[in-house]
Structure 1
Amino acid sequence: MEWLIWIHVLSAMIGIGPTYFGHILLRKKQSSNQLQQSLALFGLLNYFPKIGGSIAVVSGVALVAATGWNFADLWILGSLVLYVMIQIVAVGMLGPVLKQLMQLLNIGDDAENDPGVATNKTALLAKANRLYNTASILGIILILFMIVKPM
């Protein structure tokens, strides 16, 4: 059972840790080229939560099944709800916004001087930051649930 705890903790750290680097990548004062590079790096960093987060969920469910805890325990239920909410925000809402932003950045240099394109880029980046902040805050709450769980 101890090995399952190690897998759970390590996959959570490896999966969640790099996602907080995304706040630096989505900063506002970047040129279009810098933002394109940041979005490409952001896409690569997303492999960590997809793989590590999935392993953390599977190992967490296995831990619940192998111990006396049950899914009705508030912290376990809350953790699962938070994880689902993070997925909805990060994958369902943030993903399409970042895709729109990348499409807007790929229009070309001519369109970059267009005030409408610049306004849309700024609005999409602001929306992406709000969604990313929401997912990050939910992630911190999830981590707190794991730390203060009943023993």
Structure 2
Amino acid sequence: MGWLVVIHVVSSIVGIGPTFFGHVLFRKKQQREELKQSLALFQLLNYFPKIGGTIAVLSGVALVALSGWKFTDLWIWISLVLYVLIQVVAVGMLGPVMSQLIQVLNGENGRSTDQDTSTNKAAILLSKANRLYNTASIMGIILILLMILKPM
């Protein structure tokens, strides 16, 4: 069962870790080209939570099934709910904001607008993305703490 714990811990780090890079990638006051590069890096980093997170959940379920824990334990339910909420924020809410930001930066909004309007819209979307990243990061920290401090 030790190998399963190693798989679970490593996949959790790989799955949750990129969430914390968002704070660096989407910092305020970036130039347009810097933000485009950050968005490209975001797209690459996005694979890690999908793959690592999936393996972490599957290995976590296997750990519960093979150990003395029960699926009715409160900390397990809280952990699963937090994981789902992180996915909802990161994929369901942050993804569309990032798509809109890419469209604004590439000028694909279907109508010609002046640079100031585009810059303001990008700043609003960037601020929204940062709030979502903060939310996902806080939930990720709570999830990590639950894994460390789980009842023995």
The two structures have a TM-score, normalised by structure 2, of 0.93
Deviates more, 1:13-22 or 1:96-105: 13-22
Shift of 1:114: 2.6
Residues 1-150 of structure 1: pairs in structure 2 closer than 5 A: 1-107=1-107, 113-150=114-151
**For the aligned residues, what is the CA RMSD?**
1.4
Q: Give the drift of 1:70.
A: 1.1
Which aligned runs of 4 or more in structure 1 are off by greater than 6 angstroms? none
Shift of 1:57: 0.3
For residue 107 of structure 2, give the secondary structure of its aligned residue in structure 1.
coil
User: How much does 1:5 deviate?
Assistant: 0.7
Give SS of 1:40's match: helix
In the aligned structure 2, how far is the partner of 1:43 from the partner of 1:64?
Answer: 32
For 1:148 and 1:6, locate their aligned partners in 2 and report how far apart those are by CA, in whole Å: 17
SS of structure 1 residue aligned to 2:124: helix
Indicate conservation of the 8 Å contact 1:15/1:53, yes or no.
Answer: yes
**CA distance in 2 between partners of 1:112 and 1:11 (Å):** 44
Whole-Å separation in 2 of the counterparts to 1:42 and 1:117: 21
- Aligned residue-pair number: 149
Residue aligned with 2:95, SS: helix
After superposition, the C-alpha distances for 1:75-113 in whole angstroms (9 at most, x for unaligned) are 1000000000001101000000000000000018xx685
Deviation at 1:19, TM superposition (A): 2.5
Report the Cα distance in structure 2 between the residues aligned to 1:112 and 1:57, rounded to whole angstroms.
45
* Residue identity in the other structure for 1:125: L
The aligned amino acid for 1:107 is G
Structure 1 spans left out of the alignment, 5+ residues? none
Give yes or no for contact 1:19–1:48 (8 Å, CA) kept in 2: no
